[in-house]
Chains A and B, each alone.
Chain A
Amino acid sequence: MAGDALTITGLQKSFGRNHVLRGIDLGLAPGSVTVLMGANGAGKSTLVKVICGHHAADGGQMVLAGRPFAPEDAADAIARGVVTVHQSIDDGVIPDLDVANNLMLDRLVERGRGLFVRGRAMRAEAAKIAAAMGIEVNLRARVSDLSVADRQMIAIARAMARAPKVLILDEPTSSLSATEADRLFALIDRLRAQGVAILYISHRMSDIRRLADTIVVMRDGAVSGVFDTAPLDYEAAVTAMLGHRMTEVDVDVQHGAAPVLDLSGLRLHPEAAPIELQARDGEVVAIVGLLGSGKSRLAEILFGMARPAAGSMAIHGQAYAPRSVGDAVAKGVFMSPKDRGTNAVIPAFDIADNMTLPFLKGLSTGSFLNAGRQRAETRSMIDRLGIVCQSPHDGIGTLSGGNQQKVMIARWLLEPCRVLLLDEPFQGVDIGARRDIGRHIRATAPGRATLVFLAEIDEALEIADRIVVMSEGAVAGEHINRNIDLAALVADISGSAAASGTTDRPT
């Protein structure tokens, strides 16, 4: 490890009692791309924030080019040659300034540069930087008028203007199209050739195949695998990331009765392969896939938040094309969205109001709410799901994450539906609450089709009758949840079947 640009040993970081990093060892070699993988909450972002000076480490050390490295703040890290391009690109550019100003922004901050901006000289220098990076955009164009990819390039070019030793890219392709990503990869190749040590954070297997020299996998705040011998073992990396411990929950697999939901020729994007999928009455189908596999998009389309590029949907044989969320709910399709904090919880409301929110109409006489019935319905759900609280009038904010999630799920179990969609129902939920929720969903499954969107294999094995794997916006495989072939499941998730061809990324 002596030749590494940045060496990290035993790095620890806690927030309160929450140990986010439990001793990370990592070496970044000059002129190579290290890909960092990990599920949500594995600690990737925290690690990046420690390296770029946003958080101070609680333990362990970092060595940058032979000297101890403990940045005081982000500016210090940058000054010492560790530059980070964050996930939301607009942190890295000033949208209202032109390209030249953006590229030269850091020079404007330096002391002793004089009061007036010399436009011509600045543009000349900016042109040099742009040429070195292979960026071809009009230097006078406003950054806000450029495409996402161009903005990303400029953020990276700005970072490179400081000739860094270490460059960190946090999910840079998450909002890029395939051709735009190719331009980014070309730029990364160029930087690698210049001897920069690159840490690249991504979930997208096609990116990883295209770029990775080394793969480091994190899970639960520790490094769970390092893969650096060619050819890289991508499947082992995904296994290390998802880590399927055998679960104690035994699923009594149901095949379901009559088909309820029928997707035919459904294309999520114009370039994605069509999806054929049926979900039957009483059946719980888990849709699993990595971030960016298209499962969130599918959920949005089913719930009327987005339109498919092509194809059709039907429920009980009737065409189903929801115009809005309200329309979807009216047609008996309910969804508990992911990220309950932003998408589901009404922080100002108590448990009863939060739970009954979608069905206030049925709980009112004329327009006036019937508080008694609201309370009674909430009480019965509190009992059935085992929500720990004092009364239905507790503020939602006083509950633990698991209990809040139970309220959000209970919200959609109050009335019968034809299709129930649960997007990441176990997010930020402890194992006890997860079992309670899973048991209740399975117990109430008859009478509807249930689709559960999950990133973790364990969770899918715990709740589903059938597991459908998505990758690159299409169905990559299907498995009945009985004596399941985990290797084949993981292979589907990491998309190795699709990658056996010559191209890494379908265009």
Chain B
Amino acid sequence: MNDRLLDFAIRYGFLILLAGMVVYFSLAAPGFFGPLSAAFVLQSVAITGILALGVTCTLVVGGFDLSIGAVATSALMLSAYSMVILEHPTLVAVLLCLAMGAFVGLVNGLLIVKFRVPDLLATLGMMFLLIGLQRIPTQGNSIATGMMLSDGRVAEGTFSAAFLWLGRHRFDLVIDRLLPMPVVIFVSIAVLVWLFLGFTRHGRLMYAIGSNARAAALVGTPVNRYKIAAYMISGVTASIGGILLAARLGRGDIASGNNLLLDSVAAALIGFAVLGAARPNAFGTAIGALFVGILLQGMTMMNAPYYTQDFVKGAVLVAALVFTFYLSSRRSGAGH
């Protein structure tokens, strides 16, 4: 009986906690429960969630990608530079960013697989490199239409309407102009990653690599290729996050996106606890991102000061990790 209770707690505890939280805020904070508030929560977690889904893929192969935040801000600056200063059309700017993300992922993967640099160190190095690199073309300035360039010219380009549409368009759902475009993209990517990791043979082999890379190699799996692919997926999703951030802000803001890395890593790690998976998974990551978003939204509506937010995120993360590792170790201990 006790075992079954524990099993139930591990499996559904986090989802029950999420539901309980929604009920509590709905009762305690007027205006929390409703489509507008829900859209706001989703909007607030969409970009973090997209990055978190990418890092989930690297966690699946037993790696880690610390460079996602820097890739996202690089994509932000690159898209701004491409459109405002080089006056490229939308499509070119977007493709440039995606290619940049894929290339960074490829370099990360090669550093880890070919040069045997430990994943944390390789991606940490890449993070520093990108943070520095994205500031060089503009001498450390943010990019906006009409800015003065170093040669005295004025930047003539603008963010095109099509580009801004990516970040700002809202679809009609229940009420007019409710669902923001980034949320639609977040949900689409979540479904794609969920299908890819959970239901394709490539996803299954990636989990095998994360669990026992040597055994996976000894059945003929091209382990290195899958690892590189995971970092490339992570790079591309991070650049998508950066594009959406640029489209929402409408300028190449050098200071935005500071929290992206930690928030998205937290979402992916909280995801371990969802449904008692005890391993990285796309559904859990999306729920993890939502969990943090709902908690912060509810607290804001109950007038909790903004500076308590990081503390709350940290507390949720620690609780989720204890949940995952302590409870599931007890479960597997009981299983023998």
- A residues adjacent to B (C-beta < 8 A): 303, 305, 324-326, 328-330, 335, 337, 342-349, 353, 357-358, 360-361, 363-364, 367-369, 395, 397-398, 411
Q: CB-nearest residue of chain B relative to A327?
A: B220
B218 contacts A343, CB within 8 Å? Answer: yes
B216 contacts A346, CB within 8 Å? Answer: yes
B217: chain A residues within 8 A (beta carbon): 325
Residue from A360, A395, A397 having most chain B Cβ neighbours under 10 A: A360
22 example contacts (A-B, Cβ-Cβ < 8 A) are as follows A326-B220, A342-B212, A343-B218, A344-B215, A344-B218, A345-B212, A346-B211, A347-B212, A348-B211, A357-B204, A358-B219, A360-B204, A361-B201, A368-B195, A368-B199, A368-B200, A369-B199, A369-B204, A395-B335, A398-B335, A398-B336, A411-B219
Q: CB-nearest residue of chain A relative to B207?
A: A348
B212 contacts A346, CB within 8 Å? Answer: yes
Within 8 A of A (CB), among B145-204: 195, 199-202, 204
B216: chain A residues within 8 A (beta carbon): 346, 357
Residue from B200, B210, B212, B336 having most chain A Cβ neighbours under 10 A: B212
Known: A325-B220, A326-B220, A326-B221. A349 touches B200 (CB 8 A): no
Within 8 A of A (CB), among B200-241: 200-202, 204-205, 207-208, 210-212, 214-222
Indicate if B303 sits at the interface (CB-CB under 8 A). no
Residue from B200, B201, B217 having most chain A Cβ neighbours under 10 A: B201
A349: chain B residues within 8 A (beta carbon): 207-208, 211
Indicate if B279 sits at the interface (CB-CB under 8 A). yes
B222: chain A residues within 8 A (beta carbon): 326
A342 contacts B220, CB within 8 Å? Answer: no
Indicate if B259 sits at the interface (CB-CB under 8 A). no
Residue from B211, B219, B221 having most chain A Cβ neighbours under 10 A: B219
Indicate if B139 sits at the interface (CB-CB under 8 A). no
Bound-state CA distance A357–B209 (Å) is: 11
A346: chain B residues within 8 A (beta carbon): 207-208, 211-212, 215-216
Q: Which of B199, B200, B219, B279 contacts A357 (CB 8 A)?
A: B219
Indicate if B2 sits at the interface (CB-CB under 8 A). no
B211: chain A residues within 8 A (beta carbon): 346-349
A395: chain B residues within 8 A (beta carbon): 335
B215: chain A residues within 8 A (beta carbon): 342-346
Known: A368-B200, A369-B199, A369-B201. A337 touches B279 (CB 8 A): no
- Give A304 Cβ to nearest chain B Cβ, in Å: 9
B204: chain A residues within 8 A (beta carbon): 353, 357, 360, 369
- Per DSSP, chain B at the interface is helix
- Give B143 Cβ to nearest chain A Cβ, in Å: 40
A348 contacts B205, CB within 8 Å? Answer: no
Closest 10 CB pairs of A and B: A360-B201, A348-B211, A329-B220, A326-B220, A358-B219, A367-B200, A364-B201, A346-B211, A325-B220, A346-B208
- Given contacts A325-B219, A349-B211, 11 further A-B pairs with CB under 8 A are A303-B218, A326-B221, A345-B215, A346-B216, A357-B205, A357-B208, A357-B216, A358-B219, A368-B201, A397-B332, A398-B336
A358 contacts B207, CB within 8 Å? Answer: no
A325 contacts B218, CB within 8 Å? Answer: yes
B201 contacts A343, CB within 8 Å? Answer: no
B219: chain A residues within 8 A (beta carbon): 325, 329, 357-358, 411
Tally of B interface residues using CB under 8 Å: 25
B220: chain A residues within 8 A (beta carbon): 324-326, 328-330, 358
A347: chain B residues within 8 A (beta carbon): 211-212
Q: Which of A324, A369, A397 contacts B200 (CB 8 A)?
A: A369
A411: chain B residues within 8 A (beta carbon): 219
B205 contacts A360, CB within 8 Å? Answer: yes
A364: chain B residues within 8 A (beta carbon): 200-201
Bound-state CA distance A360–B208 (Å) is: 12
B218: chain A residues within 8 A (beta carbon): 303, 305, 325, 335, 337, 343-344
Bound-state CA distance A395–B219 (Å) is: 19
Q: CB-nearest residue of chain A relative to B225?
A: A326
Bound-state CA distance A247–B42 (Å) is: 69
Bound-state CA distance A377–B20 (Å) is: 43
Bound-state CA distance A112–B199 (Å) is: 64
B332: chain A residues within 8 A (beta carbon): 397
Bound-state CA distance A349–B279 (Å) is: 11
Q: Which of B202, B214, B221, B279 contacts A367 (CB 8 A)?
A: B202
Bound-state CA distance A342–B214 (Å) is: 7
Bound-state CA distance A343–B217 (Å) is: 9
Q: CB-nearest residue of chain A relative to B205?
A: A360
Bound-state CA distance A277–B195 (Å) is: 48
Bound-state CA distance A303–B336 (Å) is: 35
Bound-state CA distance A97–B141 (Å) is: 47
A353: chain B residues within 8 A (beta carbon): 204, 208
A348 contacts B200, CB within 8 Å? Answer: no
Q: CB-nearest residue of chain A relative to B199?
A: A368
A305: chain B residues within 8 A (beta carbon): 218
A345: chain B residues within 8 A (beta carbon): 212, 215
B202 contacts A343, CB within 8 Å? Answer: no
Q: CB-nearest residue of chain A relative to B202?
A: A367
Q: CB-nearest residue of chain B relative to A397?
A: B332
Bound-state CA distance A395–B279 (Å) is: 14
A397: chain B residues within 8 A (beta carbon): 332, 335
- Give A329 Cβ to nearest chain B Cβ, in Å: 4
Bound-state CA distance A329–B218 (Å) is: 10
Bound-state CA distance A364–B201 (Å) is: 7
Q: CB-nearest residue of chain A relative to B208?
A: A346
- Give B197 Cβ to nearest chain A Cβ, in Å: 11
- Give A192 Cβ to nearest chain B Cβ, in Å: 40
A342: chain B residues within 8 A (beta carbon): 212, 214-215
A303: chain B residues within 8 A (beta carbon): 218
Bound-state CA distance A13–B168 (Å) is: 71
- Give A373 Cβ to nearest chain B Cβ, in Å: 12
Q: CB-nearest residue of chain A relative to B279?
A: A348
Q: CB-nearest residue of chain B relative to A358?
A: B219
A344: chain B residues within 8 A (beta carbon): 215, 218
Bound-state CA distance A237–B119 (Å) is: 49
B221: chain A residues within 8 A (beta carbon): 326, 357
- Give B220 Cβ to nearest chain A Cβ, in Å: 4
Within 8 A of A (CB), among B285-336: 332, 335-336
Bound-state CA distance A347–B211 (Å) is: 6
Bound-state CA distance A391–B38 (Å) is: 42
Bound-state CA distance A335–B215 (Å) is: 11
Bound-state CA distance A345–B218 (Å) is: 10
B336: chain A residues within 8 A (beta carbon): 398
Q: CB-nearest residue of chain A relative to B335?
A: A398
